[in-house]
Amino acid sequence: MFGPIGEIIETQRLRLEPLAVHHADEMAEVLDDPRLHDYIGGEPLTRDELRARYERLVAGPAPFHQEGWLNWVIFRRRDEQPVGYVQATVTPSPTALKASIAWVTGMPYQGFGFATEAAGAMVGWLRAHGVTEITASIHPENASSAAVARKLGLHPTPDVDDGETVWRVPSS
């Protein structure tokens, strides 16, 4: 399994805190909008459901999965408002350490560059910890998520994962 656990990451406007179960109390409100699920499936969870989900995420995958689950809650530093989350699933392969990444920003906090700023910082952290291949799976109609991926330097590939386009950083 991927060794390092997440650390606090700070950017100009944001602080990324490794996910803890207590974050469910604040995040239930931030994520309480069905529009967030237009392209990612599912529906908003109640506080208790989110707490149960965070318990599973914090516990991590079973060791035989050989994966690491990294999740960060994004806080706006100026007022400590939680605005969303970023996540990475890290998988070792014989030749590389790979991460599949994703981002979500609550509706009132979208359009300020927060997903790009947070995910960019996460990618920097992943690279500093040996991850060499970064991918994201994005619904073909999810234009704002595609914009985030492009700003991070990812490009769409012909690969499709469960109906979503696989984006990756082209190898140089």
Q: Is 132 in the site for ligand COA (CB under 6 A)?
A: no
- Residue written as token pair 């707490």: 51
Q: Is 154 in the site for ligand COA (CB under 6 A)?
A: no
- Interacting stretch for ligand COA, rule CB under 6 A, among 14-22, 42-50, 92-100, 107-115? 107-115
Q: Is 36 in the site for ligand COA (CB under 6 A)?
A: yes
d(CA 9, CA 73): 10
Q: Is 11 in the site for ligand COA (CB under 6 A)?
A: no
Torsion on CA atoms 63, 23, 103, 66, rounded to nearest 10: 0
Which ranges constitute the DSSP H helices of the chain? Answer: 23-30, 47-59, 114-128, 143-151
Q: Is 160 in the site for ligand COA (CB under 6 A)?
A: no
Q: Is 112 in the site for ligand COA (CB under 6 A)?
A: yes
Least separation in angstroms between CB 88 and ligand COA: 12
d(CA 115, CA 138): 14
- Taking the least distance from each CB to ligand COA, the nearer of 1 and 109 is 109
Other beta carbons less than 10 A from residue 21's beta carbon: 16
d(CA 25, CA 72): 15
Residues that bind ligand COA (CB under 6 A): 36, 39-40, 102-105, 110-116, 136, 138, 142-145, 147-148, 151
